[in-house]
Each structure stands twice: as C-alpha cells, then as structure tokens.
A = this chain, B = another copy of it.
Amino acid sequence: MSDALSLVFGALADPTRRGILARLAEGPAPVTELGRPFDMTAQAISKHLKVLERAGLVTRGRQGQWRPCRLEVEPLDRATGWIEQHRAVWADSLDRLEQEIVRIQEGRHHDQD
C-alpha cells in the first residue's frame, strides 16, 4: 500500500484525519488546535498528522514551539482526478445501455436510473 494514490486515499479513510483536513482547509493551524475537537491524546493526533504528511496532504513548518500544519491541495487533485477519470467512462451512455442490458438479462428489476 505504498504507492502515492493509495497513501492519499488511505489518509482520507479516517474521520479524524478528514476532520483535520477540513479544519486545515480554512487555514494553517498548530497541532494542539487541530486535536482539540477530538477525544484522543496529542500523540494520536501527531500520528494522524504523520500519515497525512506521508501522503503529501499536509506540510509542517516551524514557528517557535509550534508546528503549524498547512494543507497541500495537489494530492487531492490527483485523487479526484483518478475517480473522475473512471467515473467518466462509466457514465458514458453506451456503457449505461450495456449495463441495462445485463440487468435485464439477469432478470433483476432495478427501476432506478
């Protein structure tokens, strides 16, 4: 699970980390502030930040005794890029038709879409 895209998606696969990113989307913040909303130790938050950093989603500076964390948006673009790329193929009308045919062949009655 060491490729770049897996690291990004893996980092997003945790509500605490998504909460941290949501906070960072509004601007940089030190670690203690990032951890405040969560019922866990500062060490746990530090670990989550390391995961986010390894995925390239945050970078950390140094400002006195604080380590301000900053959101990096490029990995998020690559993530949405991957999804959209395949979603686009799927959404193609010809493929939709194909899907519908298979659905009918299966004898399943999905009235959705």
Partner of A82 from B18, B64, B105, B111 at Cβ < 8 Å: B18
Number of identical protomers: 2
Chain B positions within 8 Å of A6 at CB level: 13-15, 18
Name the residue on B nearest A10 (C-beta).
B13
Q: Determine whether the beta carbon of A68 is less than 8 Å from that of B13.
A: no
The dominant DSSP class at the A interface is helix
Contact-residue size bin, chain A (C-beta under 8 Å from the other chain): 35 or more
Q: Which of A29-81 contact B (CB under 8 A)?
A: 61-64, 68, 70-71, 73, 76-77, 79-80
Apart from A12-B83, A80-B87: 10 A-B pairs, beta carbons within 8 A? A6-B15, A21-B86, A25-B86, A25-B89, A28-B102, A61-B103, A62-B106, A63-B113, A70-B99, A79-B83
